[in-house]
Chains A and B, each alone.
Chain A
């Protein structure tokens, strides 16, 4: 890594933590250096940066976000950020003829020992629903490398901080919660697995919410 890359990585981490005010909550697992696929809800481009910035630095160096080539290959700064800083695995969402199979690209990266960050909704969620239906990629990847644990990551408020199409972030407080890992069970079908993974992400969401009732002790 060059000095510029290191500086950009440091700046991005600091900036993300300050703007989002988010402390990572590891409720379902610990931030330990085991190979994982982190799968999160996707509502903003800041999602990539937040998961990445929330990992301890030794994990961060071995974790690569999976991102859409159509967006990130467009422009010098984006290219620098995704290739040099985040070391992203770029996939071709349009599936042009010469494009390589995205699952194969991700599996290769796992074989090299890296962890992955991916957003199984496939696109940013701009609806009022908590989560869009999952695309099948998560299942195919889990079927290809069933030993790697999948960690659900719920991020709250990022879609409000920087909605799709906006450029100035509003400094609302965000939260990021790492839930309990799951693995593909033997013989589990695609639909069953995807429903279970989606449910695990929603469960991470509810575990992150403050309990109702219980007013402040002193007030």
Chain B
């Protein structure tokens, strides 16, 4: 099959799943809820609508090539960082640091990805922002909670900007024999991570008994985790033909992606717990904020990127 056939097949598959989900949502709404408001079913339908929207946005960005994908994820990072810093305990003395984080560090990181300067975008935030932003904050007169504030801002940049920028960075990897097909790596990552989220939710609702981290997230269960990861790994293995991996490699990599994604959801829930939040924001109807949606991608993107870079690029 050619590249175009694969593209068509994947697009048709995603379209089919969304049509199926919409149909299930509609049936539940009329058969179970009988058109009356029902929190769980309404939330499910809101999510399905949001999925249509997100699939369309990602599809359009992919049509725009590297520039489109870089621009989309720069925007995603911006919204995520905004949600994160909104609830982060910063003080007046951090104002210039925050201005730099939003208006210099973020665009510069994505510019580096766009010009494919791996040597700099892989260390710009972990080294240069890490050292320089606290220096700037030290010049402000306000030293109260200095360490906590500096660490909080750096952590936000790492999660919301550095980690997320590894999604478009997948397009810059030169994999022999896989030229021109890198967009599939982006689709593969997002598809596996997000289906793992959804499948963990479904397995958890169906069979969930034992809570896996009751202090952090009462809705996460052992059964949901095992069932969700296993079925997402099965999906990832079955989709090996859009990747440069063998079926066995695809399975192992899917496992790494889904486990990292689970860790991401857990860590970001722990932060929400600490800050007393239910959701990160109200950006996407039915999905809470941007960070609620991409927490698992944040953790899996850099790991996936480095596995592929280590194993499949010369």
Q: Which residues of A contact B (CB under 8 A)?
A: 21, 23, 126, 157, 159-160, 163, 166, 168, 170-173, 209-212, 214-219
Contacts and interface: CB of A to CB of B under 8 A. Distances in A.
Contacts of A216: 217, 219, 269, 272, 278-279, 288, 292
B216 A172 contact: no
A212 B272 contact: no
B85 interface: yes
A217 B219 contact: yes
Contacts of A160: 90, 92, 95
Given A163-B92, A171-B102, A219-B269, A23 B220 contact: no
6 contacts: A157-B86, A173-B83, A210-B278, A215-B217, A215-B272, A218-B201
Interface in B271-311: 272-273, 276-279, 281-282, 288, 292, 295
B277 A219 contact: no
Interface in B161-216: 201, 216
Given A170-B99, A219-B220, A214 B278 contact: yes
Contacts of A23: 282
A215 B269 contact: yes
Given A163-B95, A173-B281, A212 B276 contact: yes
A164 to B, nearest CB: 8
B103 A215 contact: no
A11 to B, nearest CB: 21
A170 B216 contact: no
Interface string B71-94: 000000010001101100010100
Interface secondary structure of B, over-half rule: helix
Nearest to A21: B82
B201 A168 contact: no
Interface size class of B (residues with CB under 8 A): 20 to 34
A219 B83 contact: no
Contact of B92 (A21, A126, A211, A212): A126
Contact of B218 (A159, A163, A211, A215): A215
B265 interface: yes
B99 A168 contact: yes
B98 interface: yes
Contacts of B7: none
Contact of B216 (A159, A166, A214, A215): A215
A163 B95 CA distance: 8
B273 A219 contact: no
B16 to A, nearest CB: 23
B234 to A, nearest CB: 21
Nearest to A168: B99
B43 interface: yes
Given A172-B86, A173-B83, A217 B99 contact: no
Given A173-B83, A216-B288, A219-B292, A211 B278 contact: yes
Nearest to B218: A215
A159 B276 CA distance: 21
Contacts of B85: 170, 172
Interface in B100-135: 102-103
Contacts of A157: 86
A7 B201 CA distance: 48
A209 B276 CA distance: 9
A170 B269 contact: no
Counting chain A CB atoms within 10 Å of each CB, which of B83, B99, B281 scores highest? Answer: B99
Contacts of A21: 82
A171 B160 CA distance: 15
Contacts of A166: 95
Counting chain B CB atoms within 10 Å of each CB, which of A172, A210, A212 scores highest? Answer: A172
Contacts of A159: 92
Contacts of A209: 276
A215 B102 CA distance: 28
Contacts of B276: 209-212
